[in-house]
Structure 1
Amino acid sequence: MSVLRRKPSAMPSALPSPKRSMVGSGHPKLAQLLLVLLALGLGGWGAWRSFAPQPSNAREQLVAQATQIANLQQQVANLRRSDQISRQANTDLQGTLAERDEEVAG
């Protein structure tokens, strides 16, 4: 039998593989899974915001709480002023008692 010899070809037998873009490289299944999970999470959050129980009188509660806060702030101001007046009266009384003690001693 004769051995057939091939002529060396000028073209290589294996074609170079096309370059992959960096955008599509990686794990497309993982990216799809993350995208689906993100969509489900956002959908669940939106449904919760839409269907969560809310008080029927939320605006009334806010007005009542604002009124209560204003009343409490007024009470704090009154108590501070009352404390200031009591301290001043106590100081005056101590001064008067000290004067009388001097008179009694003299």
Structure 2
Amino acid sequence: MTDWTQKTEALNRLIRPLTFPIAVKLVESVDEFPEKTRRPSRDMGFKTNLCVGMTMARKYGWTVGITADDNACLIAAYTFGWSEPESETKKALTDFMIVMKYAANENAA
């Protein structure tokens, strides 16, 4: 048994998580996605939010790859540089980030 297998068994025994633990890897190209990576737009026929993609990975144990083509979330699009917000939208998103306590101030947002 590998060290990782033992650690996984210990976590499952001691914590009993309701979902699979996940990791996030940022890649330069879809060519770097593992072979069986599920892409929402290609494999499921719809765009989705980044957080929903992560939930699919946690709930079903899938490897999910999301690019700008798969994404439906404006905040994720701006965060990852997939698109640039208009000034009104940028102000609204900055205010949202501050009100929700995701950022301490405009510079952090």
Q: Which TM-score bucket, shorter chain as reference?
A: under 0.3
TM-score calculated relative to the size of structure 2: 0.15
Q: Which has the higher contact order (CA 8 A, sep 6+)?
A: 2
Larger Rg computed on CA atoms: 1
By percentage of residues, which structure has more helix?
1
